[in-house]
A and B are shown apart, each in its own frame.
Chain A
Amino acid sequence: MKKNKKHIINTEPAEANLFSYRKYAFTQFKKNKPAWYASWLLCLIIFIALFASFIANDQPIYAKYRGKNFYPVFSQHWLIKSIFNTNAVDSTINPETGYWEKIQFDITDWRTLELEKVIWAPIPYSPHKQDIYNNDFASPRSKQYMKNAQGKIVESPWFFRHHLGTDALGRDVLSGLIHGTKVSLLVGFFSVIIAAIIGVFLGSMAGYFGDNRIKISRASFWFSVLGIIPAYFYAFHVRRFVIADAFADKIWWGCVQLLFSLFIFCAIVYLFYKAGTLLKNRFFAKQVSLPVDSIVSRSIELLNSLPRLILIITVSAIIKERSLLILVIIIGFTSWTEIARFVRAELLKVRVLDYITAAKASGLSNRQIILKHALPNALAPVFVTVAFGMASAILIESGLSFLGIGVPEEMVTWGSMLNAGRQEFDAWWMIVFPGMAIFITITIYNLIGEGLRDALDPKLKN
Chain B
Amino acid sequence: MMLLVSLMAFWISASAPGDPVEILTNSGTAQGSSNNISVKKDIKDSLRNKLGLNKPLFYFSLNSLAECDTLHKIYDKLTRNTLSRLTAKYGNWKEIHAYYTAILNLQQKSLSLSADTLLLRCAADSADLMQKDEVNNSLNQIINETNSLLHTYEHNFIQTKIDSIKNIIYDQNYLNCFKAEADNLSESYMQMIANSTGWKNYVPVVRWHGLNSQYHQWLKNILLKGDFGISYTDGQPVITKIWNKFLLSSRLIIISIFLAYLISIPIGIASARRRGSWFEKTTGTILFMLYSLPGFFAGTMLLYWFANPDHWVWFPEGGSQPIDIDLSQMNFFERFAYQWPYMVLPIITYTYSSFAFISRIIRVSMLEVLSQDYIRTARAKGLSDNRVIYKHALRNALLPVITLFVNIFPAAVGGSVILETIFNYSGMGLAGFDAIRNYDYPMIVSLFTLSGFMTMIAYFVADLLYAFVDPRISY
Contacts and interface: CB of A to CB of B under 8 A. Distances in A.
Chains A and B bind each other: yes
Interface of A: 229-230, 232-234, 237-238, 240-241, 298, 301-302, 304-311, 313-315, 317-318, 320, 391, 395, 398-399, 402-403, 405, 415, 418, 421-422, 425-426, 428, 431-432, 435, 438-439, 442-443, 446-447, 450, 460, 462
B92 interface: no
Contacts of A428: 304
B17 interface: yes
Given A229-B62, A306-B451, A313-B417, 18 more contacts: A234-B202, A305-B410, A305-B459, A307-B413, A308-B411, A310-B432, A314-B436, A314-B448, A317-B436, A398-B294, A405-B436, A418-B297, A425-B303, A425-B304, A425-B308, A426-B310, A431-B297, A431-B301
A236 B204 CA distance: 12
A460 B439 CA distance: 47
Contacts of A415: 296
Interface string B451-475: 1100110010000000000000000
B364 interface: yes
Given A318-B12, A422-B300, A308 B410 contact: yes
Given A229-B206, A310-B414, A318 B304 contact: no
Given A318-B17, A435-B294, A309 B414 contact: yes
A431 B292 contact: no
Given A230-B204, A425-B308, A428-B304, A306 B452 contact: yes
User: What is the predominant secondary structure among interface residues of chain A facing chain B?
Assistant: helix
B455 A443 contact: no
Given A307-B411, A438-B294, A233 B64 contact: yes
B346 to A, nearest CB: 15
Contact of A403 (B63, B294, B367, B418): B418
A233 B206 CA distance: 10
B414 A308 contact: yes
A462 B367 contact: yes
A241 B85 contact: yes
20 contacts: A229-B62, A238-B201, A241-B88, A298-B1, A304-B410, A306-B8, A308-B414, A309-B414, A310-B448, A311-B448, A313-B436, A314-B444, A318-B15, A398-B296, A403-B418, A418-B300, A425-B310, A442-B294, A450-B288, A462-B368
Interface in B398-426: 407, 410-411, 413-415, 417-418, 421-422
Interface residues of B, number: 58
Contacts of B437: 317
Interface of B: 1, 4-5, 8, 12, 15-17, 62-64, 85, 88, 201-202, 204, 206, 275, 288-289, 291-294, 296-297, 300-301, 303-304, 308, 310, 364, 367-368, 407, 410-411, 413-415, 417-418, 421-422, 432-433, 436-437, 439, 444, 447-448, 451-452, 455-456, 459
Contacts of B17: 318, 320
A428 B308 CA distance: 11
Contact of B433 (A403, A418, A438, A446): A403
Given A237-B64, A314-B448, A438 B414 contact: no
Contacts of A405: 436
A313 B433 contact: yes
B364 A446 contact: no
Contact of A439 (B15, B297, B455): B297
B436 A306 contact: no
The 4 closest A-B pairs by CB, nearest first: A307-B414, A435-B297, A309-B414, A305-B455
B300 A435 contact: yes
Contacts of B407: 304
Given A310-B448, A313-B433, A439-B297, A305 B456 contact: yes
Contacts of A439: 292-294, 297
Contacts of A307: 410-411, 413-414, 451
Contacts of B368: 462
Given A425-B308, A431-B301, A435-B297, A403 B1 contact: no
Contacts of A229: 62, 204, 206
A305 B452 contact: yes
Contacts of A301: 1
Given A318-B17, A435-B300, A305 B310 contact: no
Contact of A306 (B16, B410, B459): B410
Contacts of A320: 17
